[in-house]
Amino acid sequence: MVQITKLKLIYNLVKPILKTMEAVELKSNIHQIVDAIQNQQVLQTLYDFLKPKENEKNTFIWDSFNEEQKQELLLAYEESEN
């Protein structure tokens, strides 16, 4: 059980790398949807929602872990190498 949890945590660390192509496709799909919207109020609401997020720093799940969690992950990685 613990091993599965550790593997899930490691997967979550590399998941952003695996999602790069999906992100490109997702952006394209979002652009298509926005281009099709004709309602000014909907567009303004969408803009107001997205604008503050424009300058948000990309954070990795690693940064959200405390030191103990990071050490557990590193240990799990080392054990997986053996």
Residue 8 Cα to chain centre, angstroms = 15
Q: Give pLDDT, residue 76.
A: 80
Q: Model-level pTM greater than 0.75?
A: no
Condensed to tens digits (0 to 9), the pLDDT of residues 68-77 reads 888 888 888 7
Q: What is the pLDDT of residue 69?
A: 83
Q: Give percent above pLDDT 90 in the chain.
A: 9
DSSP strands (E only) in 1-82:
none
pLDDT category at 58 given cuts 50, 70, 90 is: low
Could you tell me if residue 33 is left (phi over 0), alpha (psi between -120 and 50 degrees) or otherwise beta?
alpha
| Tokens linked to 20 | 């790069």
Section 3-12 average pLDDT: 66
Report residue 6 as tokens: 């550790």
